[in-house]
Amino acid sequence: MKMLRILCVMILCLALPLSVNARDTVQTLSIAEVMENPEYAARLQGVKFFFGDQAHPTPSKNFGEFRTNKKTNAFNKTDKYACQWTMLSALLQLQQRALELGGNAVINIKSNYKNVPVSSETEFTCGAGNVVAGVALIGEIVITK
């Protein structure tokens, strides 16, 4: 019995370093795939989103720049699915803030994963690990004509 305990402890000690080896894969994914997903699009109503230097109507009022940093449980999910879900969550947070302020658009949206701003009209940056995926965005909330 004592030998069995020793064996179990040894196996646990050997397996522990494998589970603590954290992964943080930074990747770029398609904004269009998130925005065109019917399930996600149904939730993104009432506010228009303009990414990077994408042309947008002239704002009549600017409420300033706002940031979001969302994480989701990525355990047992593909990186792509976890990142897209987290992007939706970040956009929903920007949308909620815009609606609270009376805005109808978020312009100049940039990825800001680990405080590294990346401006793109077509892609967003996501960090995916063994258990968590994260998306951070910066955008200006405005009223457009």
Asked if the structure places residue 1 within a domain, the reply is no
The CATH number of whichever domain residue 61 belongs to comes to: 3.30.110.70
List pLDDT tens digits, range 15-60: 545 444 578 899 999 999 999 999 999 999 989 999 999 999 999 9
Asked if the structure places residue 108 within a domain, the reply is yes
pLDDT in the model for residue 21: 55
- What is d(CA 25, CA 135) in angstroms, rounded to the nearest whole number? 12
The average confidence (pLDDT) of the chain is 91
Asked if the structure places residue 14 within a domain, the reply is no
Q: What confidence tier does 145 reach under pLDDT thresholds 50, 70, 90?
A: confident
Place of tokens 């990186």: 79
Q: What is the span of the domain harbouring residue 33?
A: 23-144
Asked if the structure places residue 97 within a domain, the reply is yes
Q: Give the dihedral of Cα atoms 35, 63, 144, 45; nearest 10 deg.
A: 30
pLDDT in the model for residue 19: 47
Number of domains in the chain: 1
Asked if the structure places residue 2 within a domain, the reply is no
- For residue 8, pLDDT over 80 is answered with no
**CA proximity to 134, closest of 44, 50, 67:** 67
Structural element, H or E, at residue 135: strand 132-144
Q: What is the mean pLDDT of residues 119-140?
A: 97
- What is d(CA 46, CA 32) in angstroms, rounded to the nearest whole number? 18
Judging by beta carbons within 10 Å of its beta carbon (0-12, 13-18, 19+), is residue 89 exposed, middle or buried?
A: middle
